[in-house]
Amino acid sequence: MPQVKVVATMEAKDGAGAEVERVLTDLAGKSRAENGCVSYEVFASAAAPGTFVTIETWADEGALEAHMRGLNLKFAASALREHLAGAPALHPLRPVES
């Protein structure tokens, strides 16, 4: 099975950027230890303050599904709920052939 890549973008409420960054970096560390996680990176937008992006690579669809159902993500989602301006936008990616 091919690896699965997902990009998630989210916007912190005014004044909540530091807390969103803390929760996301904690989630990234825990996610990297999950079975099937190839990489999990967190970025803050240089162009749009308060906007955060995660770029994840999973070994296969099953590993991603386990992550999506797992406690690490559930706890992070609960912690982020009051600090985000809206729901995160998830973008599963597919390769584009040249």
Ordered domains of the chain (ranges, CATH): 13-93 (3.30.70.100)
The pTM (predicted TM-score) of the whole model is: 0.93
Which pLDDT score, from 0 to 100, does residue 98 have? Answer: 73
Which pLDDT score, from 0 to 100, does residue 97 have? Answer: 83
Q: How far, in Å, are 13, 30, 37, 54, 80 from residue 33 at the CA level?
A: 29, 5, 7, 16, 21
Averaged pLDDT, 24-34: 98
Averaged pLDDT, 1-18: 96
Averaged pLDDT, 15-36: 98
Is 3's pLDDT higher than 90? yes
Which pLDDT score, from 0 to 100, does residue 12 have? Answer: 99
